[in-house]
Amino acid sequence: MSLQAEFQVIIMAGGKGSRMPEITSGKPKCLLPVGQKPLIWFPLNNLHLCGFTECIIVVLDNQKHEVQSTVDKFNLGIKAEYFSIPSNEDLGTADSLRLLHDKLHSDVLVLPCDLITNTDLNSALDIFRTHNATITSLFMKPQQPDAVLVPGPKPKHKPERDLVGIDVQTSRLVFLASLSDFETDVSIPLGLMKKHPHIKMYSTLVDSHVYVMRNWVIGYLKNEEKISTLKGEFLPHIVRKQLAKVPQKVEEANASIVDSHHSDDIFSFAKEDDMKLLVREMSAFNDHAGDSNPTYHGDCIRCFAHITDADEFGVRVNTLPVYCSVNNKIIENWSKIVPNEPLVLKNPKADIKSTQVDDKCVIWEGAKLKEKTSFKESIIGSGVEVNSFSRVFNTILMKNVVVKERVALENCIVSDGAIIGTGTQLKSCLVGSHYNVPDQSQHCNEVLTDVAQLMEF
Amino acid sequence: MYNKNEIIHKGNIVQAVVVADEFEDKFIPITNEVPMSLLPLLNKPLLDYTLEFLYLGGVEETFLFCCSQVDMIKEYIRKSIEASAAWSLNMKIHILVSESCRSFGDCLRDLDAKGLLRGDFILLEPGVVSNINLRPILKKHKEVVKKDKGAVITIVYQKAGVGQIGRSAEDDIVVAVDHNNRVLYHKKTRLLEDKRIKLPVEIFLLSDEVSMLHNLKDAHIAVCSSSVLPIFSDNFDFQTRDDFIKGLLMNEEIMGSTIYLHLIRGSQYGGAVTNWQNYQAVSWELKDRWAYPLVPSLKENNLLKDNVIGNGTIVPHDANISRCVIGNNVVLGKNINLEDSFIMSNCKLEDNVTINLSVIGNSCTIRKGSKIIENTVLGNGVNIDQNTILKNQLIQATKPDFCEKEDILGQYAFRLKPDEDEDEILQKLPRLHNMKESIETSDDGFSDSDDENLSYTQSPVLDDTKLFFTEVIDSLTRGFEDDLQCDNLILEINSSRYAYNISVKEVNFNVIKAILHMYLRQPTGQRYFSQLLSYFSPILKNYIRNESAMQDCLQAIEDVAITNEELKENWIVFILNWFYNENYLSEESISNWGRNLDQSAKFSVQVKPFLKWLEEADEEE
């Protein structure tokens, strides 16, 4: 008999990066460079620090090869298994879990590929363990906003905000909704207040999309095919289900009728072990004080939340502003976020002839920086070539970008394989992958990309 | 060097305002003769606790605002000072009289006109019993005012779990505060529509963290800035403190005034006597020393098990008394039964009297064998004749202005009938708790409508017929549980029918189906089933009227039988038999239906014996 792992870890890397299509159109989102590493390295490193040795990475089938070849080089001691999902269907996170159903035998820890944090995941896992929770999610205190210049035209989207209600005494997650769902009033049933007489409602927390879930939840998702995403649909649903009454059991003679009637009911999945219930009933432990209700109010569905400390770092890199800001901060926060690996600003395998590279630049391996070039606060990806008399300020150059001579780039993001023509000046621009910027161009606050790629907008 | 603080301190002595009257007649008929503030609480006037609390809390000057029976209060204060009550040593008391005031708000407006208060002051609503140290709260209020110029009032609440007896349903409240404890939302739960709390979304947009509190008990204490009184004067429609809070929250921009909350925890106790339920709760909490150092005086009381007995009262051995407070010099006869009741001084209870969950005023006489139960309140000096039974009534000794003959119970006993519009208030009046029974297990909340809201992913959208069907089931279940008239149920069903635009055929089909389904949900047993069917017989009669309705009915039976295969075989025979015997279904219709059945189906095999029997019976005839 092989030992079953307590948790199976799933990293969701099958997103299309639809909130920042300008830079993810030609590249898997999880491979965007952040500091000296691709994005997905950060959650993997976090898992490594927590002691995990295995994980399943969900990828789009057309990106599997690229992701796999990058991740396999990380050498973090985590055995990754890849699970590809069709890229032509728009599948959500819950859909992915549904497809993975057969492989999941333990409780599940789901992480997004775009999470950069130094929070110890064990804190969320421990709440899950302590309370035998159905689902535990990790919320992050918002980072101090910084005035970061975002390249490209002014963003149209307002940031999404959630309204998160957490019972102060027990850490139960009791309310979850998107703030934009409310027009004038937020309506809360009085019954919720009676059950949880002190609820803190947070409106600025960032959902890390880290979820720890009981195995039966996967079975329920398998059954409920209409639920497509965890965050948007499943979580609010199950949070509200905590309040719902458990349908009464009916006498033996008719039990089978009712079972067939309620077989898709969430409570038939959530049923707890009789022995555990008995132990709970006989134990002196109660999760709350102040009323005479039983432990957990007798709920079989229990959602919990853990909020990171204010001084912990935690962001989800899913929009352009966050991507820009995290690249600004990553160098100074590196030792905090990645205590186990030193920051390497200039990769020894890079060919740096330039004398003007300030110490806020990160140069990846295989980059070629010619003489008489100047770099400030920039990230230069692998295989990038920057020719003489060019300057690159506050800019991200991804893989294999070629910058010709006498180019001035300021506050730009240039995607894979783009070529910047001679004498070009770009300020606050986004350059799509493999796009050729003609010689002598001048642009400001624009998105430069092939028309075909623009379709994604 | 001299102490600077002391000088400042002397310039600002701590002032308190006590409004001594409640204006809602909650304690009639007892308060017809005695002002509410002199109501005995464990055989000591309520006011005494309030003043001692203020004195212990650090107040140096108190304004006592009285509107009725002022002489009695004046006399009491004079006597207390003569007897050098503890609070009289270091605290000045001014009695302010204004008999024209009709509300709490009127009192404050009057106070504003008198211009007696200078700085911050403590404001007490009537009936406060507490041991809170007020100085730190005053200090905190001053600090808040420094940061927020608009802060005018800090209201004091005690943390108390849901279901504590000290929390009366009247004062049950939900408050939302931000991280500075500024009040953003404040609403009594009894005023909520359909038991949902509706908070303006701006609250959440403006502050990152909002605490929603429902674990609160109102201490009826507030720290006010001097601007509170002018605000009352400017808004003559503010009658109560709640009006004031509501007004400030609604018009915050206009008035620029903000409200803060102070939560007391731990050993500090805040309570108030605002109705009989609170009166009972505060009595027990005082007895159990929750409000230490305010405790029942042992000089004046004897504790006998769970009762408090006044001086000069002798409890006979055969008396059965539990959870009661009995005043001074009460004469008790033989074989007396008292439970959860309050009996004030100088009463006389003769043999075999039973009193349960009731309040008996001063100097009442209750003759042999009387029973006074369920929230009856006797005013002072009432005489109850032998073997009278009083249940949930208000009795006073003097004849009210309008009094019908039936309300005269004796020379000194008149039933007090509330005015029509007061009737509601009286019904809502919180009553004494039966301490033996567990406290309300109210069903708030997670109503089915909630559940429906959740169901966005649960089941496919129901079509109208299905909705109609579920509604019928709901109506019938409720009707059966609450024992409602079937005629009303028929009305309900018909209105659902029009709401969903359902054809007659479908109505018949669904109603029968619903009744049969109810059987499936309930514990089994054919006896029970006949009971259910007989109960609904008016409904059956109403819907099964003609041949085609009979066919619908049979269809429904067939449908239920086929979809629930686990049913025992004889079930269907039993049903058919019952419908046939009760003349809902004619022989003809059954045999017609039987002929059209698919002969090979399991169902028809089950029905066969019955059909056969029917035929034979026919032939025999």
In this complex, the residue of B197, B208, B212 whose CB is nearest that of residue A203 is: B208
Q: Determine which of A48-52, B172-176, B298-302 has the lowest per-residue pLDDT on average.
A: B298-302
What pLDDT does A247 receive?
67
Is the pLDDT confidence value at A253 over 70?
no
| Predicted local distance difference test score (pLDDT) of residue B2 | 45
User: How many distinct helices (H) and strands (E) make up chain B?
Assistant: 21, 33
A356 strand-pairing partners: A374
Contact B111, B17 (CB under 8 A): yes
Q: Which residue from A165, A185, A200 is facing B198, i.e. has the nearest CB?
A: A185
User: Is any Cβ of chain A less than 8 angstroms from the Cβ of B214?
Assistant: yes
Task: Say which CATH number the domain at B91 has.
Answer: 3.90.550.10
- Where a domain ends, among B245, B276, B307? B276
In this prediction, residue A157 has a pLDDT band, given cuts at 50, 70 and 90, of: low
- Give B548→chain A minimum CA distance, Å: 30
Q: Which CATH architecture has domain A344-454?
A: 3 Solenoid (2.160)
- The stretches of B460-586 forming alpha helices (DSSP H) are 464-482, 486-500, 504-521, 526-535, 537-543, 547-563, 569-581
The string of pLDDT tens digits covering residues B540-559 is 888 887 888 888 888 888 88
Work out the average pLDDT over B306-332: 85
> What is the location of CATH 3.90.550.10 in chain A?
7-245+257-329
**Overall number of domains in chain B:** 3
Quote the mean pLDDT of chain B: 79
Tell whether the model's pLDDT for residue B5 goes beyond 50: no
DSSP state of A136: E
ipTM over 0.85: no
A residues 127-186 closer than 8 Å to B (CB): 142, 163, 165, 168, 179, 182-186
**By C-alpha distance, which of A329, A297, A324, A290 is closest to A313?**
A329
Task: Count other C-beta atoms under 10 Å from residue B58's C-beta.
Answer: 18
Residue B478 falls inside a structural domain: yes
Which chain B residues are closer than 8 Å to A240 by Cβ?
450, 453-454
CA of A73 vs chain B CAs: smallest distance (Å) = 42
* Residues whose CB falls within 8 Å of the CB of residue A97, separated by 6 or more in sequence, listed in order: A10, A104, A108, A110, A218, A221, A230
What's A404's DSSP letter?
A: -
Which pLDDT tens digit goes with each residue over A408-441? 999 899 988 889 999 999 998 888 888 888 889 8
State the DSSP string of A138-157.
EEEPPPPP---PPPSSPP-P
Q: Do B398 and B332 sit in the same domain of this protein?
A: yes
Compute the nearest-CA separation of A297 from chain B (Å): 13
Which helix (H) or strand (E) is A108 found in, with range? Answer: strand A107-112
Do B52 and B162 lie in one domain? The reply is yes
Interface of A with B in 225-244 (CB under 8 A): 226-227, 233, 237, 240-241, 243-244
Query: Quick one: pLDDT at residue A213?
Result: 92
Is there a single domain that holds both residue B376 and residue B241?
no
| CA end-to-end span of chain A | 51
Mean pLDDT of B367-371: 84
B302 plus B271 within the same structural domain: no
Residues B239 and B331 in one domain: no
A292 to A243, A286, A298, B35, B180: CA distances (angstroms): 18, 10, 12, 37, 30
In the three-class reduction of DSSP (H, G, I as helix; E, B as strand; rest coil), residue A299 is classed as coil
- Does residue B270 lie within any of the structural domains? yes
Mapped to the 3 state alphabet, what secondary structure does B529-556 carry? Answer: HHHHHHHCHHHHHHHCCCHHHHHHHHHH
Tell me, yes or no, whether B289 lies in a domain. Answer: no
- Chain A segment 255-284 residues within 8 A of B by beta carbon are 256-257, 264
Where does the pLDDT of residue B618 fall: very low under 50, low under 70, confident under 90, or very high at 90 and above? Answer: low
Domain A7-245+257-329: which CATH number of 3.40.50.10090, 3.30.470.20, 3.90.550.10, 3.20.20.190:
3.90.550.10
Between CA A104 and CA A222 the distance in angstroms is 12
- Whether residues B410 and B498 share a domain: the answer is no
Residue with tokens 């009553």: B431
**Is pLDDT larger for residue B590 or for residue B141?**
B141
Distance in angstroms (rounded) separating the CA atoms of residues A55 and A44: 9
For residue B372, the model assigns a pLDDT of 83
B521 and B422 in a common domain: no
Res B438 pLDDT > 60: no
pLDDT over 90 at A187, yes or no: no
Partnered with residue B198 across adjacent β-strands are A187
**For residue A79, pLDDT beyond 70:** yes
Inter-chain touch B212–A198, beta carbons under 8 Å: yes
Q: What's the CA gap between B617 and B621, in Å, rounded?
A: 6
Residue B440 included in any domain: no
Residue A202 touches partner B, C-beta closer than 8 Å: yes
Q: Judge whether B149 lies within some domain.
A: yes
pLDDT score, position A255: 43
**Whether residue B524 is found in the same domain as residue B403:** no
Confidence of residue B525 (pLDDT cuts 50, 70, 90): low
Calculate ∠ Cα B384-B387-B388, nearest 5°.
50
B426 pLDDT higher than 80: no
Q: Which residues contact B120 (CB under 8 A, 6 or more apart)?
A: B138, B141, B142, B223, B224, B225, B226
pLDDT computed for residue A139 by the predictor: 92
B196 contact residues in A (CB cutoff 8 A): 187-190
Q: How confident is the model at residue A56 (pLDDT cuts 50, 70, 90)?
A: very high
pLDDT of residue B418: 60
Confidence of residue B451 (pLDDT cuts 50, 70, 90): very low
What CA–CA distances, in Å, run from B592 to B544, B600, B620?
16, 17, 19
The pLDDT tens digits for B478-498 are 887 777 788 888 888 888 887
The CATH number of the domain holding residue B498 is 1.25.40.180
* pLDDT tens digit sequence for B133-143: 888 888 889 89
Chain A residue numbers with beta carbons less than 8 Å from the beta carbon of B445 are 189-192, 194, 243
Range of the domain at B472: 459-620
Tell the residue number behind the tokens 């129901």, with chain if given: B462
Same-domain pairing of B272 and B311 = no
Note whether B198 and B97 are same-domain residues.
Answer: yes
- Integer CA distances (angstroms), B175 to A198, B129, B211, B274, B442, in order: 10, 22, 8, 20, 21
Which DSSP letter does residue A231 get? Answer: I
pLDDT (0 to 100) of residue A166 = 92
| pLDDT at residue B422 greater than cutoff 70 | no
- What digits encode the pLDDT tens for the residues A209-240? 999 999 888 888 888 888 888 888 888 888 88
Question: B451 and A245: CB-CB below 8 Å?
Answer: yes
Question: For residues B191 and B170, what is the distance between their CA atoms, to the nearest angstrom?
Answer: 10
> What percentage of chain B reaches a pLDDT higher than 70?
86
Q: Taking residues B335-349, report their average pLDDT.
A: 87
Share above pLDDT 90 across residues of chain A, in percent, rounded to a whole number: 16
Q: How confident is the model at residue A109 (pLDDT cuts 50, 70, 90)?
A: very high
pLDDT grade, residue B452 (50/70/90)? very low
Closest residue in B to A196 (Cα–Cα):
B214
What is the model's pLDDT at position B351?
85
List the single residue in A188, A198, A244 with the smallest CB-CB distance to B215.
A198
Task: Taking residues B458-462, report their average pLDDT.
Answer: 40
Look at residue B286 and tell me if it is in a domain.
Answer: no
Which range is least confidently modeled, A134-138, B94-98, B140-144? B94-98
Q: Are residues B498 and B381 in the same domain?
A: no
A182/B192 CB distance under 8 A: no
Residues in CB range of B372: below 8 A, 6 or more apart: B353, B354, B355, B356, B358, B360, B366, B378, B384, B389, B390
How confident is the prediction for chain A on average, in pLDDT?
A: 84
Q: Say which of B201, B214, B453 has its CB closest to residue A193.
A: B214
